[in-house]
Chains A and B, each alone.
Chain A
């Protein structure tokens, strides 16, 4: 049976992990690869590096981190943040990432999804969508960290991404993000029911129970988790044990 995936996401700025406390045994404090290795040991199913570096010059640093990550990790690595062109895609993949996630670049230039999936295969094209309710309560696509409403209908956009060749959708609810009150079940359900590609739920996770809930109440394929792990409120092992107890099929290292 296909397992539900738990994906830790690391925000990286100028080569360092932004959020997160220091884990024991970390040799280089703030080194994203060190964090990722710990998560792999805890049975993370994939890793996401999100580069939130502001300036173009500093973007070179992320390449070294991806190369290092690809060398050290034995699980898939997705990289997102600031990817605008096919050339960016190529560079990220060449550095050793397995998947590339694009967000506003896809909104601004939907053909990028098509070009990237034609050239590199849809399996490596993850479209990140930031969804949010507008004043009328309709799900819309937002960009710029939830500040700008694109006017695009969330479901229509998700379908279009699939049509253009996206291999997966990383759906973040901007309403839930940062609240730690749980995933946006309603939004996740809407998207999952309307596309035929895997959906990663993101935003709002504050407890192990939130992860159980999103898998029980929606048919999403994976859950993205950040602060819960970074602040050591839970380990991935603990999450998986709880999921297994609730009859949700997960991969475990010790069988």
Chain B
């Protein structure tokens, strides 16, 4: 069983639907016991960094997430859920993140339109089993105005927008994150979740 963390930060229904499609047995929950039993954790999220962290705190989820991270349980952050895996965010105000990956989250520096919204292609940077069923230059669906600045070694894929190299899939050990929405990225997104399912198993 995989748990989709319910911390009241946007619609998580589509993540659950996407899990169903690839045969991931997922539940939406913030219950500590369920999180403890889960073989994998998905941290979704749509909204702003500071609210996401406030909610994780409010629902007492930070300690249990830290513990599960230490225990080596696969964690997948999606969109804002990926961003809070980092050390710090600057959306609305400076906020400390979970700090599982090194780097900060700040507004995309560009004169192009924001949000960066729509389908954009992936450039591979580093090998990872999450890429097992997809190809370089496959398109995935992004919606965000903030981006992570990362150490290169933690970036698995980039995309490019407005003159910026934007980390699209990041990860280290058991922690992975997608800036885009695999649950909304058609066949390609489905194949990413399929690969993550195998990582969990």
Contact = CB atoms under 8 A, between A and B. Distances in A.
Are the chains A and B members of one assembly? yes
Interface of A: 1-3, 5, 40, 45, 70-71, 74-76, 93-94, 96, 98, 120-124, 167-168, 196-198, 221-222, 251, 253, 255
B120 A40 contact: no
B6 to A, nearest CB: 13
Nearest to B135: A255
B143 interface: yes
B179 interface: no
Interface stretch (B54-62, B148-156, B169-177, B181-189): B181-189
Contacts of A221: 113, 117-118
B14 A96 contact: yes
A116 to B, nearest CB: 12
Contacts of A5: 118-119
Contact of B115 (A75, A122, A222): A122
Contact of A2 (B46, B137, B144, B161): B161
What 3 A-B pairs come out closest when comparing CB atoms? A123-B143, A251-B139, A3-B119
Nearest to B137: A255
A106 B18 CA distance: 32
A255 B138 CA distance: 8
Interface string B83-103: 000000000000000000000
A15 B129 CA distance: 43
A120 B14 CA distance: 15
Given A120-B47, A221-B113, 16 more contacts: A1-B160, A2-B116, A2-B118, A74-B18, A75-B184, A76-B181, A120-B10, A121-B46, A121-B48, A123-B115, A123-B117, A123-B143, A167-B117, A198-B113, A253-B186, A255-B137
A96 B11 contact: yes
Contacts of B118: 2-3, 5, 45, 198, 221-222
Contacts of A1: 120-121, 160
B196 interface: no
A96 B117 contact: no
B37 interface: no
Contact of A168 (B48, B117, B137): B117
Contacts of A94: 11, 13
B21 interface: yes
A5 B184 CA distance: 14
Given A75-B184, A76-B184, A255-B135, A198 B141 contact: no
Nearest to B182: A74
B141 A121 contact: no
Contact of B11 (A98, A168, A196): A98
23 contacts: A2-B118, A2-B120, A2-B161, A3-B119, A3-B139, A5-B119, A71-B17, A74-B186, A74-B187, A75-B184, A75-B186, A76-B141, A76-B181, A76-B184, A96-B13, A98-B14, A123-B46, A123-B144, A124-B46, A167-B115, A168-B117, A198-B113, A255-B138
Interface string B1-42: 000000000110110011011000000000000000000000
Contacts of A3: 118-120, 139
In the complex, which of the residues A1, A120, A121 has the most CB atoms of chain B within 10 Å of its own CB atom?
A: A121
A122 B138 CA distance: 26
A123 B47 CA distance: 8
B114 interface: yes
Contacts of B143: 123, 167
